[in-house]
Structure 1
Amino acid sequence: MTLPVIELSRVGRRYDDGPPALHAASLTVRRGEAVAILGPSGSGKSTLLNLIAGLDRPDTGTVTVDGVRVDRLGEAASARYRRSKIGMVFQFFNLLDDLTVTDNVVLPARLTGTARGEGDRRAAELLQLLGMERHARAYPGRLSGGERQRVAVARALMNRPALLLADEPTGALDTAAGQDVSRLLTDLNAEGQTLVVVTHDLALAHSCTNRTVHITDGRITQDVRSPAVAPGAVR
């Protein structure tokens, strides 16, 4: 049995006086799994992702990621946790347009105090791995949507995170670019990267994950594993 990367135990979160955004949610994700979080808008998907990322705190329950009790962290500790444990990929890339591709990718290493030479070597390695080395000196505005998402994935992997979180990673892409990103996520998971993808896209969920977790009205209503795919090895 591989050790859990994510352990959520009866997690609840309510905003203002509305109904619970998340209600008594329990979830375990083991190292090397690729999990899709599915549900309609307002179901609690983003709340779940924010709790795992330490961007929000639960009202009840516990959140543990790679041995860290995320629900107990203060603001500064949460920022350090995200830099060291989490890689995040967003729908709209969140790249800095005034930085080159290399500088965007290496930014997380700068924030953790990694030596410049070491960070540059890691960035070059990732850009080559993702087929983006020829764009190393380009600026994001000159890239296609699919290329920008590849740069965003490289940036997310910069500090060798225990967990890669992807929030609607193909939502701003055309079909061909979306399929390209889906294959990229599949390849990363095959190499052992633990992956959680929040998406409305069933095709993406089925193509690049081996488990689907459905959320409805803040409750986990279904958790289905693919019997054909076992969790990968440690990255």
Structure 2
Amino acid sequence: MTVPAIELHDVTRRYDDGPPALHDTTLSVAPGEAVAILGPSGSGKSTLLNLIAGLDRPSGGTVTVDGVRVDKLNETGSARYRRAKIGMVFQFFNLLDDLTVIDNVVLPAQLSGVTRSAARLRAAELLDALGVARHAAAYPGRLSGGERQRVAVARALMNRPTLLLADEPTGALDTASGEEVKRLFNDLHADGQTIVLVTHDLPLAESCATRTIRLVDGRVVADDVRAVTTGRGR
């Protein structure tokens, strides 16, 4: 039996005495799925992503990713879990401006103890696969938004993560760059990468996601799935 990539059971997250940011959420994501999380501001989208990433802990319920009980991890265990299992892509790229493109990409591998030569070889392969190899020695500030997001995705894939999490990956991009990133996520999913993305970009969700989960006031109000065929993993 295939182990779910993500499994949440009765997950609630409260931050104060008000309504919970996430309320009694139960869901399962299979390996190879591409899931878009939609909903208005304050609906619990970012809370859900942070719980899956181990950046936050639930007030109740369980969070399991690739067989790991994320809600039981301490701070050190959470950091190790993210390095081993999670790749993260952010709206504003979060690249280090004083490092070259390739040095940004190799950073997660170096933090995991991979040798510099092996890390640079992996980084070069990813930059080539994502169409930005010619910028390896450049600094992020010299790249377009779409190119910087491709570099950010390369960095996220560096340690061959089980799960790629993306928080508004097209939110800071112009239309042309957004289309580039949309095609990139389609390619990643076609290669078998499991993806969960939070987005307000409906065309991105419709193009890239094989499943759409809608949140309102911390509750799942819709969970729509369509058939997909996936290929190899990166």
TM range (shorter): over 0.9
| 1:84 paired residue number | 84
> How far apart, CA to CA, are the structure 1 residues paired with 2:2 and 2:192?
12
Q: Give deviations 1:148-169, integer Å, cap 9, x for gaps.
A: 0000000000000000000000
Q: Is contact 2:191–2:230 with CA below 8 Å preserved after alignment?
A: no
1:127 aligns with 2:127: yes
Secondary structure of 2:10's match?
strand
Q: Give deviations 1:5-61, integer Å, cap 9, x for gaps.
A: 000001000111121000000110100000000000000000000000000000110
For normalisation by structure 2, the TM-score amounts to 0.98
1:197 aligns with 2:165: no
Q: Is contact 2:32–2:192 with CA below 8 Å preserved after alignment?
A: yes
| 1:219 paired residue number | 219
Percent of pairs with identical residues: 73
Alpha-carbon offset, residue 3 of structure 1: 3.0
| 2:59 paired residue number | 59
For normalisation by structure 1, the TM-score amounts to 0.97
> How far apart, CA to CA, are the structure 2 residues paired with 1:180 and 1:195?
17
> How far apart, CA to CA, are the structure 2 residues paired with 1:79 and 1:129?
27
| 2:49 paired residue number | 49
1:3 aligns with 2:20: no
Output the amino acid matched with 2:107.
Answer: L
Deviates more, 1:16-25 or 1:151-160: 16-25
| 2:210 paired residue number | 210
Unaligned residue ranges in structure 2 (runs of 5+): none
| 2:69 paired residue number | 69
Q: Is contact 1:127–1:133 with CA below 8 Å preserved after alignment?
A: yes
1:100 aligns with 2:97: no
| 2:179 paired residue number | 179
Secondary structure of 1:7's match?
strand
Secondary structure of 1:12's match?
strand
1:19 aligns with 2:19: yes
> How far apart, CA to CA, are the structure 2 residues paired with 1:60 and 1:203?
34
Alpha-carbon offset, residue 146 of structure 1: 0.4
Alpha-carbon offset, residue 226 of structure 1: 1.1
Q: CA RMSD in A?
A: 1.1
> How far apart, CA to CA, are the structure 2 residues paired with 1:38 and 1:205?
8
Q: Is contact 2:190–2:229 with CA below 8 Å preserved after alignment?
A: no
Secondary structure of 2:9's match?
strand
1:160 aligns with 2:160: yes
Unaligned residue ranges in structure 1 (runs of 5+): none
> How far apart, CA to CA, are the structure 1 residues paired with 2:104 and 2:233?
26
Task: Report how many residues are paired.
Answer: 234
> How far apart, CA to CA, are the structure 1 residues paired with 2:229 and 2:23?
29
Output the amino acid matched with 2:126.
Answer: L
> How far apart, CA to CA, are the structure 1 residues paired with 2:167 and 2:2?
25
Output the amino acid matched with 1:32.
Answer: G
Secondary structure of 1:4's match?
coil
Change (3 A) 1:231 1:130: closer
